[in-house]
C-alpha cells in the first residue's frame, strides 16, 4: 500500500481529502506570495526602520510617536515613511516549518510535483536561521530584526539590524531547527544552546516556587511577560523531548508553574505580571500562545500536571476570545480590532485540542473577511467600520501559512503535529 493510500485511509475518505484541498490551495498561494518576495516584507512595530526617521535626530519621544503612528494608522503609511522591508526571524521559522509540512502533504494533495520545491524552500529557510542568529551571546537565539522603541529603552541603534535576542523569536527558531533536523543533523545540537542563552543572557532565575525568564535583555525587572516565558518553557520541554535531559524538564516545569500560578479566576492570563505593567489586558493571541505551550508540555510529558490549567484556559479562550462564527475578539472586553494573528493562533490551539469544527470556523472567517484570493495574501486587522488592508509578512502571511499547514497536517496525521509535520523530525531523520 503506498503512502498516498495510507494517509487517505487514516484521514477517512477521499471526499474529506478533497474538502481539505481547498485549504491546501490557499496555503500554496500564501507561500507563493511570500516566495515571490523572498520572504521580505513589512512587520508590526517596524517604524524605527523608517529611512525618514533615521534622517532625524535620535529622540525617544519622536521614536515612539513615529513607531506608533505607523503601527496604528488606518491606512498603510509605510511607503510614505520609507519603512524597509526585511525578513523577520520568527517569520522565517514559521515559513520554514510551513514549507516542510507542505512538502510532506504533497503525496496526499494536488501538487505532488512541487514537493521538492517546498522541501528546498524549507531547507534554505532553516539554514538562514542558523546563519542569521544573534552573535556574541551564550547560545542560539533570534531577534526581531527591526528596532523597537519601548518607553524603558530601545533595542540598539536605529540604523542597523538588531543583534539583541528575545525569548519569543528564539523559541520559534528552536522549533524550526528541531523540525528541520532532516536537513542537517547538527541542528538539534545548535538549538540546545538556546538554553544557555535563556539562562545566561535572558536571566532565567528562581521566583517563588517557580522560575522566570526575561522576554528581552532590557526588559523591566519589576514585571514579567507571561506568554514569552511560556514560549521559553516550551522550547525547554521540546529540547527535553529530543535529548532526554531531566534538567531541561525541571527548568521548563518551574517556569510553567509560575505562569500557571498567574492564571486568573476567569481562566485567562494578563499580558504581564503584575497586570498593571502593561496596557494590554487578556488579549487573544498571547493567551493562545500560553495555552498552546501547556498543550505541548502535556503532549510530550503526558503527566496531567497542567490538565486543569489547559481546561480552564481553553474554556476562557473559546467563550470570551472568539465569537461562535469564528471571529477573534481582541481581548476579554473588546471585539475589535479583529486581528489575523489572533485568528491564526486560534486555528492552532483548537486544532491541537481536537476541536476541529471550531478551528475550521475560524479559518473560514479569516478567508471570508481577511483574505484576497487573487493575490494570496491576508489583511492585518478588521476594525469595526473598516479593514486595515496592509499585509504584514510575518504577522499575516507566515502565521496563516503555518496555521493552515498545521490544521491540514493534523487532520491527516490524526494527532497534533506541533510544527513537525505528518512525520516527526526523528522519523524523517532516520529515513533520510
Using alpha carbons, list the distances in angstroms from residue 37 to 31, 32, 100, 431.
Answer: 10, 9, 19, 33
Q: Are residues 289 and 276 in the same domain?
A: yes
pLDDT band (50, 70, 90) for residue 161:
confident
Q: Are residues 247 and 360 in the same domain?
A: yes
Q: Are residues 17 and 78 in the same domain?
A: no
Host domain of residue 59: 47-83
Of 267 and 217, more confident: 267
Query: Among 157-161, 240-244, 265-269, 271-275, whose mean pLDDT is lowest?
Result: 157-161
pLDDT band (50, 70, 90) for residue 7:
very low
Residue 239 predicted with pLDDT over 60: yes
Q: Are residues 378 and 258 in the same domain?
A: yes
pLDDT at 174: 98
Q: Are residues 74 and 16 in the same domain?
A: no
Q: Any idea which residue has 515613511 for its cell?
A: 81
Q: What is the mean pLDDT of residues 342-368?
A: 98
Query: Among 9-18, 37-46, 312-321, 323-332, whose mean pLDDT is lowest?
Result: 9-18
Q: Are residues 256 and 332 in the same domain?
A: yes
pLDDT at 158: 60
Reported pTM:
0.93
Return the half-sphere exposure (C-beta side, CA atoms, 13 A cut-off) of residue 14: 3
- For 81-136, the pLDDT digits (tens) are 999 999 999 999 999 999 999 999 998 887 667 899 999 999 999 999 999 999 99
What's the total number of domains in the chain? 2
Q: Are residues 200 and 55 in the same domain?
A: no
Q: What is the mean pLDDT of residues 195-219?
A: 96
Q: Are residues 74 and 93 in the same domain?
A: no
Residue 384 predicted with pLDDT over 90: yes
pLDDT at 421: 87
Q: Are residues 173 and 128 in the same domain?
A: yes
φ, ψ for residue 334 (rounded to 5)? Answer: -130, 130
User: What percent of the chain has a predicted confidence (pLDDT) above 90?
Assistant: 84
pLDDT band (50, 70, 90) for residue 156:
low
Helix (H, G, I), strand (E, B) or coil at 207: strand
At 345, which CATH number? 1.50.10.10
φ, ψ for residue 184 (rounded to 5)? Answer: -155, 120
pLDDT at 430: 42
Sign of the four-CA dihedral 174, 176, 177, 181: positive
Q: Are residues 52 and 153 in the same domain?
A: no
Which H, E and C letters describe 131-182, residue by residue? Answer: HCCCCCCCCCCECCCCCCEECCEECCCCCCCCCCCEHHHHHHHHHHHHHCCC
pLDDT at 4: 42
Residue 337 predicted with pLDDT over 90: yes
pLDDT band (50, 70, 90) for residue 6:
very low
Residue 155 predicted with pLDDT over 80: no
CB 301, CB 239: distance < 8 Å: no
Q: Are residues 9 and 75 in the same domain?
A: no
DSSP label of 373: T
Q: Are residues 166 and 65 in the same domain?
A: no
Residue where one domain finishes, among candidates 25, 58, 83:
83
pLDDT at 428: 41
pLDDT band (50, 70, 90) for residue 152:
low
Q: What is the mean pLDDT of residues 156-176?
A: 87
Mean pLDDT over the full length of the chain: 92
Neighbours of 325 (CB within 10 A): 11
Amino acid at each position: 500500500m503506498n503512502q498516498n493510500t495510507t494517509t487517505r485511509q487514516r484521514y477517512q475518505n477521499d471526499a474529506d481529502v478533497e474538502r481539505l484541498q481547498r485549504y491546501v490551495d490557499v496555503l500554496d498561494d500564501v507561500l507563493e506570495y511570500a516566495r515571490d518576495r523572498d520572504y521580505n516584507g513589512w512587520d508590526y512595530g517596524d517604524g524605527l526602520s523608517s529611512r525618514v526617521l533615521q534622517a532625524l535626530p535620535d529622540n525617544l519621544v519622536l521614536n515612539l510617536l513615529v513607531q506608533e503612528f505607523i503601527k496604528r494608522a488606518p491606512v498603510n503609511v509605510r511607503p510614505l515613511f520609507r519603512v524597509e522591508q526585511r525578513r523577520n526571524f520568527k517569520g522565517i521559522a514559521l515559513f520554514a516549518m510551513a514549507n516542510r509540512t507542505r512538502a510532506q502533504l504533497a503525496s496526499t494533495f494536488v501538487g505532488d510535483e512541487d514537493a521538492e520545491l517546498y522541501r528546498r524552500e524549507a531547507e534554505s529557510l532553516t539554514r538562514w536561521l542558523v546563519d542569521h542568529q544573534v552573535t556574541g551571546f551564550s547560545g542560539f537565539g533570534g531577534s526581531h530584526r527591526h528596532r523597537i522603541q519601548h518607553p524603558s529603552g530601545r533595542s540598539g541603534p536605529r540604523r542597523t539590524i538588531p543583534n539583541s535576542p528575545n525569548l519569543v523569536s528564539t523559541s520559534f527558531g528552536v522549533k524550526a531547527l528541531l523540525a528541520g533536523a532532516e536537513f542537517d543533523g547538527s541542528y538539534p545540537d545548535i538549538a540546545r544552546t538556546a538554553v544557555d542563552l535563556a539562562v545566561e543572557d535572558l536571566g532565567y532565575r528562581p521566583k517563588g516556587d517557580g522560575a522566570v525568564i526575561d522576554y528581552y535583555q532590557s526588559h523591566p525587572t519589576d514585571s514579567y511577560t507571561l506568554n514569552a516565558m511560556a514560549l521559553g518553557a516550551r522550547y525547554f520541554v521540546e529540547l527535553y523531548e529530543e535529548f532526554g535531559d531531566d534538567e531541561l524538564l525541571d527548568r521548563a516545569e518551574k517556569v510553567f508553574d509560575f505562569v500557571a500560578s498567574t492564571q486568573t479566576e476567569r481562566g485567562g492570563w494578563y499580558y504581564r505580571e503584575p497586570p498593571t505593567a502593561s496596557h494590554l489586558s487578556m488579549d487573544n493571541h498571547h493567551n493562545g500562545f500560553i495555552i498552546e505551550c501547556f498543550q505541548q508540555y502535556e503532549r510530550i510529558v503526558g503527566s496531567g500536571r497542567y490538565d486543569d490549567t489547559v481546561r480552564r484556559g481553553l474554556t476562557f479562550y473559546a467563550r470570551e476570545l472568539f465569537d461562535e462564527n469564528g471571529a477573534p475578539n481582541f481581548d476579554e472586553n473588546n471585539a475589535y480590532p479583529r486581528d489575523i494573528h489572533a485568528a491564526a493562533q486560534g486555528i492552532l490551539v483548537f486544532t491541537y485540542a481536537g476541536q476541529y469544527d471550531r478551528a475550521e470556523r475560524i479559518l473560514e472567517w479569516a478567508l471570508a473577511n481577511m483574505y484576497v484570493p487573487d493575490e494570496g495574501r491576508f489583511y492585518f486587522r478588521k476594525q469595526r467600520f473598516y479593514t486595515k488592508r496592509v499585509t504584514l509578512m510575518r504577522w499575516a502571511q507566515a502565521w496563516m501559512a503555518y496555521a493552515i499547514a498545521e490544521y491540514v497536517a493534523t487532520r491527516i496525521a490524526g494527532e497534533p503535529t506541533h510544527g513537525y509535520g505528518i512525520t516527526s523530525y526523528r522519523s524523517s531523520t532516520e529515513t533520510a
